[in-house]
Chains A and B, each alone.
Chain A
Amino acid sequence: MRKKRILLIEDEADMVYALTLQLEAIDCEVSSAKDGQTGLGMARKEKPDLIILDLMLPKMDGYKVCRMLKFDERYKKIPIIMLTARIQDQDKKLGQEVGADAYITKPFDSKELLDKISALLKK
């Protein structure tokens, strides 16, 4: 079966490093973007199997990226996991409104993230 491709839209370089290591260890192909705009472009171009999206991004915040993808027939099927340090309830609600499939707050358990990824990739 072909490898699953995951796109990371995250501006923390070390976080990208850490996530890439873990995702490659479970046999996924990882690509990444440092800001919202680039991320959106890459998502449209590559059509990954899953996107991990940080909310605090330069150039275009995560909510917008998520909305742009989820409200577009061509890309709305791509599962998106939102990653953020903020856990205010309005953030979660907003996430739901823009169509995120999952919401994880930093710092998180690797296991929790990996479980969510497998669950979403299986669909």
Chain B
Amino acid sequence: MNKITRLKHSKNMSFKELKDNYQLLRDLMDFIPDVIYFKDRKGRFIMVNQAHAKGLGVKPEALVGKTDFDLFQKHRARKMVQDDAQVMKTGKPMIDRVERATRPDGVDNYVSTTKIPRYDNKGKVIGLIGITRDITRRMQFERLRKDKLSIERKLEALEELSAMKSEFISTVSHELRTPLAVIKQLVTIVFNEVVGQINHKQKEVLQKTLDNTERLRKIIDDLLDVSRIERNTLKLHYSLVDIADLVKDSASFFTELAAEKSISLEYSYPKKPVNIFIDVDRIRQVIYNLISNAIKFTMDGGKIKVEVRVLESKVRIGVIDNGIGISKSDLLLVFNKFTQVSKIEGVENKGVGLGLSISKKLVERHKGDIWVESKLGVGSKFYFTLLRFYTLDMLDKTIRDKVSSLIKKGVSIYFVSLLILNFNEFKRRLKIGAKILFKDLHAILDLSLKEVQSNNLNKQTMAVINPKVGKFSIVLPGATDRQVVKISNLLKLKIKEYFISNKIEDVFITIGTLSYSQKILSHDEKFSASRFSIKEIYIGSEMRRFKRVSLKTSIKLYLPDKKVELTESIDLSIGGICLTIRDLLKTDSQLRVSFFLPENKKFIISARVRVAWIRKIRPFFGKDVDKYKVGLEFISLEDKYRKFIASKLSSML
């Protein structure tokens, strides 16, 4: 609309239209948060909006006739007037000029200024219109976005470098192997007198050469492990194994080595077989690493003990020596890559310092923990834990071997374990012997399998019964998830009916849906072809110690030197307590605890506990306080407390 039409327009408007239009403009001026103003040719304010006036702490009328010099500091006003003059002289609007102003409190404010000239109907400049908008937030957002982009770019670069580094290590390590292999062959040839007789001295020299090629080989293997672990290409192969067997293996390997230094090497295993699901070679690697370190850092005539403790849901392996120990400062770095303890006389420093860092990664891949307690001059205790699957305990060797061989063939295995808790009580209440009970359960199983109509399963299903303990395990090779869910539900129903028909009404049956394959193999899901899943069906009227609940309560820990009082979330089970603390406790040390359950503050439970395991928690975002997650095992729990906790657990689960 040109100036003429504009003029005509308002002239032709009715009073009402004028009023309405005026109101629209008034609303704009009053409510828009941007600063809007009109100035005349001389830079004097003709009209300002509410936002402008408010910003200066005055009423809009007070600003009429004033100039920038009246409102702002000289140098600032001068600049504004300059801008105004420029716009009005050239007729060129100034659009979206970003300016920074620092507030009195030091915070930077960004504004966007727009100034456009105003014309009369003859086309002469008579003033200008200005709009100023606060864009501080927009600028902050922009800055953050830029920062984010730059960080992302740096991260990309770092990741690329890291990948290159790992690839480099891998390539170089493989390349190093070939000449090493040649050297080994050639030296062996001379050593074995294939190219002529050699004297004793020459044989000695060559033996040392061969020993060093072994050293080199180990270093290269470690480097390859590290690069593979970092690139996440390390594959784990799981199989069932009795932990005692695994530890015994290492016994034979290290006896000679220990004897050379007259170090006594003792082992202690659990009395019953404890089967666990691990990558045997890799865990063996960890055990070897810990024992060889112990031997390395223990003086002649020292003592090393390898102990296996069976905890509630874990197995804990400890390598304890009375060697030179580790200083407090080194303790923090001991599991880092390439770190080796400061050179000490009498200790050969073979290797390149990767053993413990690899061990740590391997244990962590198994969802276990590894930690060390040590005192300089006294000795060191290295511990690591592995998750334990108690249902596998009862597998006798033939079943275990069968399961292992099926897993190796890549067959998925489902394990349904019926566990009758407090079995003796059940037997009594049923008034039948264990034999009959299990025969009946077996019949129920057959029926259930028939109902699910799975021909593939009927033939290969194995049932293992342990009447003494009330365990009934079913191994279903090649079963699908759906089939197992169906079978489990059927079993649950039928067993409940069975008990009820035998007049046991308060029987409680739940299906535990722990699928260990997901827990442990999730990392390797894409690599491993077979799965081992366990579904547990609990039948009973009391909760077993393996079930735990999380509660928030006040708990007091009576440590040797102080009393610690916390209000925390703890995991409570009939076997013990698990919680987070700030104090570093010693594994196997004993202490007293007292706590109460949330609803009943008067009933305080007091118990003696043993530190079963402890692990450091990584702090979040720079909070420097050390925190530890600790597992405390009840040593002796008074009956009244045990019953209370048991009933609490069963009511909460």
Complex formed: what's the CA distance from A65 to B182 in Å? Answer: 23
B189 touches A106 (CB 8 A): no
Complex formed: what's the CA distance from A48 to B599 in Å? Answer: 83
Decide: A15 near B185, CB < 8 A? Known: A22-B194, A25-B194, A107-B180: yes
A14 touches B186 (CB 8 A): yes
Decide: A12 near B188, CB < 8 A? Known: A22-B194, A89-B235, A107-B217: no
**Residues of A close to B177: CB separation below 8 A:** 85, 105-107
Instruction: Determine if B510 is an interface residue (Cβ-Cβ < 8 Å).
Output: no
Within 8 A of B (CB), among A87-113: 88-89, 105-110
B181 touches A110 (CB 8 A): no
**Residues of A close to B175: CB separation below 8 A:** 85
Cβ proximity bits B176-213 to A, threshold 8 Å, 1 near / 0 not: 01101111111011001011000000000000000001
A110 touches B182 (CB 8 A): no
**Residues of A close to B184: CB separation below 8 A:** 107-110
**Residues of B close to A18: CB separation below 8 A:** 182, 185-186, 189
Within 8 A of B (CB), among A54-113: 85-86, 88-89, 105-110
Complex formed: what's the CA distance from A14 to B183 in Å? Answer: 9
Interface size counted on chain B using CB atoms at 8 A: 21
A110 touches B185 (CB 8 A): yes
Q: Which of A21, A105, A107 contacts B195 (CB 8 A)?
A: A21
Instruction: Determine if A40 is an interface residue (Cβ-Cβ < 8 Å).
Output: no
Instruction: Determine if B248 is an interface residue (Cβ-Cβ < 8 Å).
Output: no
Q: Which of B182, B233, B237 contacts A14 (CB 8 A)?
A: B182
Q: Which of A19, A22, A106, A110 contacts B180 (CB 8 A)?
A: A106
**Residues of A close to B643: CB separation below 8 A:** none
Query: Nearest chain-B residue to A89 (Cβ)?
Result: B235
Interface size counted on chain A using CB atoms at 8 A: 19
**Residues of A close to B26: CB separation below 8 A:** none
**Residues of A close to B397: CB separation below 8 A:** none
Complex formed: what's the CA distance from A12 to B178 in Å? Answer: 8
The smallest beta-carbon distance between A100 and chain B, in angstroms, is: 18
**Residues of A close to B188: CB separation below 8 A:** 22, 109-110
Q: Which of A86, A88, A108 contacts B181 (CB 8 A)?
A: A108
Q: Which of B213, B233, B235 contacts A107 (CB 8 A)?
A: B213
Q: Which of B181, B182, B189, B235 contacts A22 (CB 8 A)?
A: B189
Complex formed: what's the CA distance from A17 to B237 in Å? Answer: 37
Cβ proximity bits B446-460 to A, threshold 8 Å, 1 near / 0 not: 000000000000000
Cβ proximity bits B232-270 to A, threshold 8 Å, 1 near / 0 not: 010101000000000000000000000000000000000
Complex formed: what's the CA distance from A15 to B217 in Å? Answer: 17
Instruction: Determine if B367 is an interface residue (Cβ-Cβ < 8 Å).
Output: no
Within 8 A of B (CB), among A8-46: 12, 14-15, 17-19, 21-22, 25
The smallest beta-carbon distance between B183 and chain A, in angstroms, is: 8
A22 touches B185 (CB 8 A): yes
Complex formed: what's the CA distance from A86 to B220 in Å? Answer: 12
A85 touches B195 (CB 8 A): no
**Residues of B close to A110: CB separation below 8 A:** 184-185, 188-189, 192
11 CB contacts below 8 A, A to B, read A15-B178, A19-B185, A21-B194, A22-B185, A22-B194, A85-B174, A85-B175, A107-B181, A107-B217, A110-B188, A110-B192
Q: A12-B178, A89-B235 are in contact. List 5 more A-B contacts (CB 8 A).
A: A14-B182, A15-B178, A15-B182, A106-B177, A108-B181
Closest 8 CB pairs of A and B: A106-B181, A18-B185, A107-B181, A85-B177, A25-B194, A107-B184, A110-B188, A85-B174
